[in-house]
């Protein structure tokens, strides 16, 4: 296990201590949440408040205080956004979830909290993003912002998190004069990722042959594309476009991962747990009429190849959740989720959490946190395969790339352990070294009946949201 925390007390923004100690002896974090009168500007109400792009060279009014990349987890105008870094935890390897959880718990143990709103997402909040593969160079990241603004239904709030009492949670922190203008990426060009589009169907064909030979039942193979923008990339630009166009998804930005995922790995809230499982896809062409879309949806709902892909994913989620629940509801039939670019077979699995199924300080007992649940569910067969271990091995062997945090859990967690974790799909990784570059990802479930050319076309359809996000 390795974890390092990087405290940024007020007045020393942006400097990493580089300490590898699990937790520094630090002052307690002071967390204060107050109700906020937030005018409703629709789907982008929250993301429009983000003050800065996070690009290091573009300090503007308020950006010096904001620091760090924009943080967001929003859907249909609700959710949370955050900025600044009160604390950052970087973890690595197979213990990346447990190490992050332990670090978060240690922060909470010494936090001083005043929460006048008491809703999911108020009080202490950490945003997180974790690598798909334990062997990835990326590991996991938890970021505790300095400022969080949230909205749920008609109720909005603001939270400040700081080692001091200097930042009061008031609307003054949202002064538009503190915001850098949101910048367009300008012209965007694309180049091949690890494997070019002509080579990828051959990899899929190889996987189909292994499945037909009985080595495994399903594997999810992904590819990446590199996009280079004329101007430095501003995650807020992408978030706004995604939040508007992909309403049914969770638009996110966490430590350089930006996307709009339709797949919820797990939400835990007051003893209830839910997971939206997706697998099985049909494309939706631009300009397609609603009648044509319904015909396609009907085709998807009857496709034995897609139903098989879906069944694997549902079974993997249900099995992983079962030990944490006293009761569960696993739908017998999927429904069809309509998105602007694709339609998916979808199942909403729900359950009642066993209040003694978690661990507290390493000993059994207490409800499991949302991050514990996400770690147990990851990797589901929606992004890895069945059985899990051979599928992961095949991904390592065939894909020819490090997925990084694509297809890993992304989301947030509160002080009570409740939270929401999606799977980082329809997403991109901003290049830490070059603000003009970004890697876009898409993957497809492969079973014995898969057609490599059709999977390539499906992967193109799954790249549409991030290409749209980079558009103007």
Which residues are marked as active site? Answer: 218, 263
> Is residue 210 involved in binding ligand ISC (CB under 6 A)?
no
Residue 168 CA to residue 229 CA, distance in Å, equals: 38
Q: How far is the CB of 380 from ligand ISC (least distance, A)?
A: 9
Tokens of 174: 């949202």
Q: Is 444 in the site for ligand ISC (CB under 6 A)?
A: yes
- Tell me which of 38, 220, 255, 318 binds ligand ISC, using CB under 6 A: 220
Site mask, ligand ISC, residues 320-349, x = CB under 6 A? ------------------------x-----
Binding pattern for the stretch 342-381 against ligand ISC, x by CB under 6 A and - elsewhere? --x-------------------------------------
Closest CB 129 distance from ligand ISC, rounded Å: 15
Q: Which residues are paired to 420 by β-bridges?
A: 267, 412
CA dihedral 391, 392, 393, 398 (to 10 degrees): 80
Asked if residue 7 lies in contact with residue 110, where contact means CB atoms within 8 angstroms, the answer is no
| Tally of CB atoms within 10 A around 49 | 24
- Name residues contacting ligand ISC, limited to 380-419 (CB under 6 A): 382-383
Segment interacting with ligand ISC (CB under 6 A) among 97-105, 185-193, 248-256, 274-282: 274-282
Q: Among residues 79, 235, 351, 443, which is the contact residue for ligand ISC, using CB under 6 A?
A: 443
First and final C-alpha spacing in the chain: 43
Closest among 2, 7, 35, 13 to 111, alpha carbons compared: 7
The nearest distance, CB 283 to ligand ISC, in angstroms, is: 11
How many of the chain's residues bind ligand ISC (CB under 6 A)? 18
Q: How many CB atoms lie within 10 A of CB 280?
A: 25
Give which of 187, 123, 200, 118 is closest to 161, Cα–Cα. Answer: 123
Mark the segment that binds ligand ISC (CB under 6 A) among 54-62, 209-217, 223-231, 437-445: 437-445
Instruction: Determine which residue in the list 462, 464, 465, 469 makes contact with ligand ISC, applying CB under 6 A.
Output: 462
CB closer to ligand ISC, 231 vs 305 = 305
CB nearer ligand ISC, residue 89 or residue 211: 211
β-bridge pairing 87-91 and 437-446: unpaired
Q: Is 425 a binder of ligand ISC (CB under 6 A)?
A: yes
Q: Give yes or no for residue 452 binding ligand ISC (CB under 6 A).
A: no
- Quote the least distance from Cβ 306 to ligand ISC, whole Å: 7
- Which residue lies nearer to ligand ISC by CB, 87 or 278? 278
Q: Answer yes or no whether residue 280 interacts with ligand ISC by CB under 6 A.
A: yes
Q: Which of 31, 66, 161, 442 binds ligand ISC (CB under 6 A)?
A: 442
Near ligand ISC by CB under 6 A: residue from 167, 243, 279, 297: 279
What SS3 state is found at 14?
Answer: coil
Q: Residue 159 and residue 82: Cα distance in Å, rounded?
A: 9
| Out of 50, 117, 163, 278, the residue judged to bind ligand ISC by CB under 6 A | 278
Count of Cβ atoms closer than 10 Å to residue 359 Cβ: 14
Q: Is 45 helix (H, G, I), strand (E, B) or coil?
A: coil
DSSP string, 117-167: S-STT-SSEEEEEE-SSTTSS--EEEEE-SEEEEEETTEEEEEEEESSS--
CA nearest to 57, candidates 429, 436, 428, 427 = 436
Structure tokens belonging to residue 58: 């573009």
For binding to ligand ISC (CB under 6 A), which residues are involved? 220, 222, 263, 278-281, 309, 344, 382-383, 425-426, 442-445, 462
């Amino acid at each position: 296990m390795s974890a390092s925390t990087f405290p940024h007390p007020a007045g020393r923004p942006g400097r990493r201590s580089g300490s590898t100690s699990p937790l520094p002896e630090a002052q307690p974090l002071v967390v204060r949440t107050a109700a906020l009168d937030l005018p409703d500007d629709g789907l982008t109400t929250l993301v429009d408040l983000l003050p800065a792009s996070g690009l290091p060279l573009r300090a503007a009014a308020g950006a010096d205080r904001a620091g760090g990349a924009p943080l967001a987890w929003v859907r249909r105008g609700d959710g949370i956004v955050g900025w600044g870094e009160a604390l950052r935890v970087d973890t690595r390897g197979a213990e990346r979830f447990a190490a992050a959880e332990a670090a978060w718990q240690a922060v909470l143990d010494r936090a001083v909290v005043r929460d006048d709103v008491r809703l999911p997402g108020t009080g202490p909040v950490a945003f997180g993003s974790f690598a798909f593969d334990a062997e990835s160079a990326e590991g996991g990241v938890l970021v505790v912002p300095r400022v969080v603004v949230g909205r749920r239904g008609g109720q909005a709030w603001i939270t400040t998190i700081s080692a001091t009492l200097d930042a009061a949670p008031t609307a003054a922190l949202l002064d538009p004069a503190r915001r850098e203008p949101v910048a367009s990426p300008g012209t965007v060009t694309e180049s091949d990722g690890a494997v070019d589009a002509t080579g990828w169907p051959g990899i899929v064909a190889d996987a189909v042959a292994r499945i037909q030979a009985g080595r495994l039942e399903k594997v999810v193979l992904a590819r990446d594309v590199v996009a280079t923008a004329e101007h430095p990339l501003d995650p807020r630009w992408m978030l706004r476009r995604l939040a508007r166009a992909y309403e049914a998804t969770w638009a996110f930005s966490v430590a350089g991962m930006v996307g709009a995922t339709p797949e919820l790995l797990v939400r835990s809230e007051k003893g209830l747990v839910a997971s939206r499982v997706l697998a099985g896809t049909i494309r939706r062409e631009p300009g397609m009429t609603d009648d044509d879309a319904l015909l396609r949806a009907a085709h998807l709902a009857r496709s034995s190849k897609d139903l098989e892909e879906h069944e694997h994913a549902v079974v993997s989620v249900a099995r992983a959740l079962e030990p944490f629940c006293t009761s569960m509801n696993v739908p017998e039939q999927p429904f069809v989720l309509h998105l602007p670019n694709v339609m998916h077979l979808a199942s909403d699995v729900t359950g009642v959490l066993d209040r003694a199924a978690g661990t507290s300080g390493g000993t059994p007992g207490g409800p499991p946190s949302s991050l514990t649940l996400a770690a147990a569910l990851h990797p589901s067969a929606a992004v890895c395969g069945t059985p899990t271990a051979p599928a992961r091995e095949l991904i390592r062997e065939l894909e020819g790339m490090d997925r990084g945090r694509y297809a890993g859990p992304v989301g947030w967690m509160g002080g009570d352990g409740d939270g929401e974790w999606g799977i980082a799909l329809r997403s991109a990784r901003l290049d830490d070294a070059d603000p003009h570059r970004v890697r876009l990802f898409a993957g497809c479930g492969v079973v014995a009946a898969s057609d490599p050319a059709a999977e390539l076309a499906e992967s193109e359809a799954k790249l549409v949201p991030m290409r749209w996000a980079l558009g103007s």
